Structure 1
Amino acid sequence: MCRVLGISRAAYYRHLNRKPSKWEREDKILDKMIYKEYKDSKCRYGAVKILRQLIKKGFKPSLKRVQRRMKKLNIKSVIVKKWRPYCSNKVNAAGKQNLIKEDFEADTINKKWLTDITYIYTLKDRWCYLASVFDCYSAKIVGWYISRDMNADTALKAIKNAIEIQKPDFKSLILHSDLGSQYTSSVVEEYLKSRGIKHSYSKKGYPYDNAPMESFHASLKKEEPRMNKYIDLEDAKISIFEYIEGWYNRKRIHSRIGYITPQECEDIERKKSAA
């Protein structure tokens, strides 16, 4: 066979006894670590976040190397980012102020909250509705509520849950929402007014005014693999709880807060305030 292939027997036996190089040995270890982080994230993490997790554990490959190894392992994030341009010359409805104005930076927790409602499909109960409240400083979902009704009560219960858990200073808190009837209803407006919470509104037909909140709902639908396989509302509640409280708030790292989890970010800020 060596004669047929034009290879010397010495080269053949040298190949058989060849020891893997330092880089090959490292790649073998790196592949295992990359695959573990990928599976631990339920196939949600891409190269950047996997790299950050590896750095935390003392292994410091380059981003290009992680990308090459992921390609070799034939794995990639389940998240596919889409860009959809929108016209920015939108205006608010009369009398509705936009206090946020696309400035999603906050100097501490419980200063700027974003809220919105999204659709969740179940096999038995059909469409259900998830209302969420997002903190701009920590990127944490501080309150949420899911029900079969898309009404003001669903929106209000998510806000009340956030208030009960976070116990914010109402005078310094801004709650930002879109112009949906759930948030412009007298039920929500009167409650916020009674607490002294300032209500801010997005411009009509302009989702970038509520971009982080929209981004969370998009991530939930892409990252939660059972999204269209819920049996009923109760099944959906269990999975949404596991995703938000078990994964998103406490395990999922975020680039906007320095690649730590929202709960870690909040805990650090609370310690600073206490000191």
Structure 2
Amino acid sequence: MIERTMRTYQLKGMIIHLCHLAGVSKSGYYKWLSNGEYRRESERQDEQDFQLIEHVFLRQNGKAGAQTIRMILENDEGVIMNLKKIRRLMRKYGLVTKVRQTNPYKKMAQATQEHKTCDNLVNREFDQGEPGKILLTDITYLYYGKGHVAYLSAIKDATTHEILAHYVSTSLKMDLVYNTLKNLFENGFEVPLESYFHSDQGFHYTHPEFQKEINEQGFTQSMSRKGNCWDNAPMESFFGHLKDEVDIKSCHTIEELNSLINEYVLNYNISRYQWTLKKMTPNQYRDHLLAA
């Protein structure tokens, strides 16, 4: 285009003067001119690669970052793409990931005097290199339909990131955590030696009867420090992603909500590639550890 402009307006004799004004050398200008075909080919390649990135990005509802896109491209599409290149193209074409805002830590009801807390034995050492050694659990609020509220209780393997059990209810009664625990064992979970059951200091987990049940099942109970959400960060992270990615408010009944949560948990376990799991899904990483 520049070369054509030079010819059109008969500016060829002014090249030295124009280069001086632009702050470039004459040789640099001619080198840039001779590399035109390379630049056009590079631009075509960028456009092709961006189409792959954009396809994954849109499929993830605009909530996939560069690392997630790279893992999906590699695992689902068989395309190996440099992480720096993905970030460069996202910047170049204005692809901005929707960032999940940190949710405030939600406290459960204050425990009564007979409820006893436990020490933080996990101490944020979540990855034990062995499935089932540390189970994390928590409860979160789900606002659906027109002003309805439900509660989701879940249990997560801290090492593999699998959601091993979950239960949705419209009640915060103790059945919420008991049914979650029941689902854990109905799903075939076997308690390993020296395994920990980690939670916050909420009413349910400090309840004497629940603590007795946990102990009888063979777990050692551990609890986060009061008001410190980082002590149970992987569980908080799962709830945050779920609320960010699932259209909870579109559900009109508890049955619809339960079905939606079931589908999300299933896909999370078998389809969600995670950078910290060697770019595997939770189920793949569990099988990898068991085969090692």
- TM-score norm. by structure 2 comes to 0.77
Q: Distance in 2 between matches of 1:240 and 1:75?
A: 28
Q: Which residue of 1 aligns with 2:18?
A: none
- Identical amino acids, percent of aligned pairs: 27
Q: Which residue of 2 aligns with 1:164?
A: 186
Q: 1:186 aligns with which of 180, 192, 208?
A: 208
Q: Which residue of 1 aligns with 2:143?
A: 121
Tell me whether 1:49 sits opposite 2:68 in the alignment.
yes
The CA deviation string for residues 196-243 of structure 1, in whole angstroms up to 9 with x for no partner, is 22111111111111111111111111122x133321211111111121
1:130/1:68 Cα in 2 relative to 1: closer, same or farther (>3 Å)? same
- The question of whether the paired residues in 2 share the 8 Å contact of 1:116 and 1:177 is answered with yes
Tell me whether 1:135 sits opposite 2:134 in the alignment.
no
1:79/1:187 Cα in 2 relative to 1: closer, same or farther (>3 Å)? farther
Map 1:107-118 → 2, pairs under 5 A: 107-118=129-140
Q: 1:250 aligns with which of 245, 251, 270?
A: 270
Q: Distance in 2 between matches of 1:28 and 1:95?
A: 57
Q: Which has the larger radius of gyration?
A: 2
Q: Which residue of 1 aligns with 2:199?
A: 177
The CA deviation string for residues 181-200 of structure 1, in whole angstroms up to 9 with x for no partner, is 11112332222122222111
Q: Which residue of 1 aligns with 2:248?
A: 227
Tell me whether 1:74 sits opposite 2:94 in the alignment.
yes
- TM-score norm. by structure 1 comes to 0.82
Q: Which residue of 2 aligns with 1:35?
A: 54
- The question of whether the paired residues in 2 share the 8 Å contact of 1:173 and 1:197 is answered with yes
Q: Which residue of 1 aligns with 2:221?
A: 199
1:257/1:81 Cα in 2 relative to 1: closer, same or farther (>3 Å)? farther
Aligned residues: 256
Whichever residue aligns with residue 36 of structure 1, its letter is H
SS at match of 2:232: helix
- The question of whether the paired residues in 2 share the 8 Å contact of 1:124 and 1:232 is answered with no
Q: Which residue of 1 aligns with 2:84?
A: 64
- The question of whether the paired residues in 2 share the 8 Å contact of 1:79 and 1:219 is answered with no
Q: Distance in 2 between matches of 1:209 and 1:58?
A: 37
- The question of whether the paired residues in 1 share the 8 Å contact of 2:100 and 2:240 is answered with no
* Higher mean C-alpha deviation, range 228-237 or range 126-135: 228-237
Task: Point out where structure 2 has 5 or more consecutive residues left out of the alignment.
Answer: 11-36, 106-114
Task: Point out where structure 1 has 5 or more consecutive residues left out of the alignment.
Answer: 12-17, 86-92
Q: Distance in 2 between matches of 1:48 and 1:195?
A: 39
Whichever residue aligns with residue 82 of structure 2, its letter is S
Q: Which residue of 1 aligns with 2:285?
A: 265
The CA deviation string for residues 28-85 of structure 1, in whole angstroms up to 9 with x for no partner, is 2201210121123232211122123334455444333312322344332223354989
Aligned alpha-carbon RMSD (Å):
3.0
Q: Which residue of 1 aligns with 2:28?
A: none
Q: Distance in 2 between matches of 1:253 and 1:76?
A: 20
Q: Which residue of 1 aligns with 2:27?
A: none
Q: Distance in 1 between matches of 2:264 and 2:181?
A: 19
Q: Distance in 2 between matches of 1:236 and 1:202?
A: 29
